[in-house]
Structure 1
């Protein structure tokens, strides 16, 4: 998991976490919220990075705490909690779209913003592409919907 109970308490205070936990109707709701946050993060991060990550950046710890806190609100989260959740989801979408990178260090303990190597987009072997736009003669030979 990207965050723990201790991380939540350090970020939001032990009293708030205890109050949120007291509102829950099932035992283990806090751990479930943290697990849900981890799975939500993984669903975005896995698009751009190989899981499991070699290290957990503090950025993901913050994201996990905000998502778990949002999920712990029993009825209606406050506006501030909702805004934080929405901001974290937008950040994760940018990571998935490769418009943002996670601050993960490489083997030499140096920060790297590089994404893992991706295979280039290629056409299948045996296909040819003659650049340009199809002309009317070519389009007339294609089957149409009648």
Structure 2
């Protein structure tokens, strides 16, 4: 199971860019090579899992939206190879920085260590001593 699907890549990036990034010798001209794209997503998932394995039980039951984006950015970087433009390289470096922060525990994915949605006790609790200006407490002023 990968954290992102080919549809996620196609939703985030230009179709023509994906065609150029996945083009190989046996590819059909003008079409995204799904085998190449799927392999890049699997490689990106493996890299993500290397960072998450120290903090979470894998595979995750719930895939946070942040990991879908991170997986797409890493896969795009892998597809670019040695010719990655600066903005693709920067997005990859940002993704790795995020994953290192998750590994260190400074950033949370919003799931518990077993990969389920995290429960929280950070709820607001309001208490009141009652109404201050009630008729029965006014003693003739109202």
Q: Residues 45 and 21 from structure 1, CA distance in 2 versus in 1: closer, same or farther, beyond 3 angstroms? A: same
CA RMSD of aligned residues (A): 2.4
User: What is the CA–CA distance in structure 2 between the aligned matches of 1:26 and 1:112, rounded to whole Å?
Assistant: 49
- Matched residue count: 110
TM-score of the aligned structures, taking structure 2 as reference length: 0.69
* Aligned mate of 1:98, from 95, 102, 105: 105
Match of 1:104, SS state, is coil
Q: Residues 113 and 100 from structure 1, CA distance in 2 versus in 1: closer, same or farther, beyond 3 angstroms? A: farther
User: What is the CA–CA distance in structure 1 between the aligned matches of 2:15 and 2:118, rounded to whole Å?
Assistant: 32
Task: Tell me if structure 1 keeps the 8 A contact 2:110–2:117.
Answer: no
Match of 1:37, SS state, is helix
TM-score of the aligned structures, taking structure 1 as reference length: 0.67
Q: In the alignment, which residue of structure 2 is the partner of 1:30?
A: 37
* TM superposition outliers: structure 1 runs of 4+ over 4 Å: 109-114
The C-alpha deviation readout for 1:50-81, integer Å capped at 9, x for no partner, is 11112001100000000000000144100000
Structure 1 segments unaligned to the other structure (5+ residues):
115-146
Give, in angstroms, the shift of residue 33 of structure 1: 0.7
The C-alpha deviation readout for 1:98-124, integer Å capped at 9, x for no partner, is 11110238xxx976579xxxxxxxxxx
| Higher gyration radius (CA) | 2
Task: Tell me if structure 2 keeps the 8 A contact 1:101–1:113.
Answer: no
Q: In the alignment, which residue of structure 2 is the partner of 1:7?
A: 8
Structure 2 segments unaligned to the other structure (5+ residues):
28-34, 122-142
User: What is the CA–CA distance in structure 1 between the aligned matches of 2:55 and 2:22, rounded to whole Å?
Assistant: 34
